[in-house]
Structure 1
Amino acid sequence: MKHTKIVATISDQRCEVDFIRSLYEAGMNVVRLNTAHMNEEGLHRVVSNVRMVSGRIGILIDTKGPEIRTTPCAAPIEFRTGDRVVMQGRPDGETTHECICVSYPDFVKDLSADSDILIDDGDLELKVIEKQAEQLICEVQNNATLGSRKSVNVPGVRINLPSLTEKDRRNIEWAVAISN
């Protein structure tokens, strides 16, 4: 009996029956659906095509969870070690060289002075040097270029966001419904 699982992430952009069949015949036995990049119609399309290949293929749903992102900027922004930049929780604000706005309104409230902030999977590192009522004053720790809508991570800080988003809940309910 085979205990090893071979998992393939399948996109609704590339989920033709023949493609899935070739993966299955090569040993793939679980399909992962990345719900961060698919809507319900895309999820249905992938599962339907997987089921046309075999009912024995497992379906794994990967939920996105909560996230904080920078807001859009007009053009990529160059930062240099030692630069000072303000950060604000303003989802409708534009990110500039002077102020990085993020999608989470309570961002400033959840952080403290001396917190480390990693943006774009750590490509841009910031250190909070001062916390004010509505903004954080940060010092850039490395040379980096910042684009629009990049991920924001704050290691060791509890961010007051729910573990499951409403979209996650809908996707989980959908997964339960299709498994019956």
Structure 2
Amino acid sequence: MDKQNTASQRRTFRQTKIVCTIGPATESSEVIGQLARAGMNVARLNMSHGDHKSHLKVIRRIKNLNKKLNHPVAILMDLQGPEIRTGELKENLNLGVGEIFYVTVAPDDTEERSVHVNYEHLINDLKIGDRITVDSGLINLEVLEQHEHRLRCRVLEGGTLGSRKHINLPGIRVKLPSLTEKDH
């Protein structure tokens, strides 16, 4: 048995899978082929970026490559899903540990130390003591009080807050659809 055949057999029996995210730097047929020959089992497409037409081109490239390989590369489409985000800020805000900061669902609430969030059920879904993470966990807030359209929070981990940052509500069941228009 030659070395190339043995390596191919080992790859087939491997339980661990190698997942590669395909994006602008890796979407050419040549690079996808290099990734596959290097051991990629799954090509991940982040559907939050790009459009359906550009993703379809990549899918076709992978399918064409699969005709030539002795181990097919699976395609994983990571859907965008619903997003909770901060609104637009006139300028970035520096949040220090221990500071009081307000999170509001009222777009016209323009208090200096507050940010609007695009999730209308925020006030009802959270309770005192719950956490709000912002910008992939760089900023963490704790809910201290609930008001009609806003939450009074304490900054647990500070940082610079900008516009349109991702919000996560750990352990909270949100009232958002699993699929968005872009996911269909």
Give 1:3's aligned residue. Answer: 13
Change in 2 beyond 3 A, CA 1:96/1:19: farther
Match of 1:153 in 2: 168
TM-score normalised by the chain length of structure 2:
0.80
> TM-score normalized by structure 1?
0.82
Q: In structure 2, how many angstroms separate the alpha carbons of the residues matched to 1:96 and 1:27?
A: 53
Q: Name which of 103, 109, 116 aligns with 1:87.
A: 103
Question: Does residue 1:67 correspond to 2:67, yes or no?
Answer: no
Shift of 1:164: 2.4
Question: Whole-Å Cα distance in 1 between the matches of residues 98 and 168 of structure 2?
Answer: 20
* 1:105 paired residue number: 120
After TM superposition, the runs of 4+ consecutive aligned structure 1 residues lying more than 4 A away are: 92-97
Is 1:123 the counterpart of 2:151 in the alignment? no
Q: How far off its partner does 1:95 sit?
A: 7.7
Helix, strand or coil: the match of 2:119?
Answer: coil
**Structure 2 partner of 1:177:** none
Q: Report if the CA contact (8 A) 1:88-1:101 is conserved.
A: yes
Tell me the distance in 2 between the aligned counterparts of 1:116 and 1:25: 44
Identity %: 35
Q: Which has the larger radius of gyration?
A: 2
Q: Which moved more, 1:5-14 or 1:148-157?
A: 5-14
Does the CA-based 8 Å contact 1:127-1:140 persist in structure 2?
yes
Q: Secondary structure at the match of 1:141?
A: strand
> Which of 127, 147, 170 is the equivalent residue of 1:132?
147
SS of aligned partner of 1:15:
coil
Secondary structure at the counterpart of residue 28 of structure 1 = coil
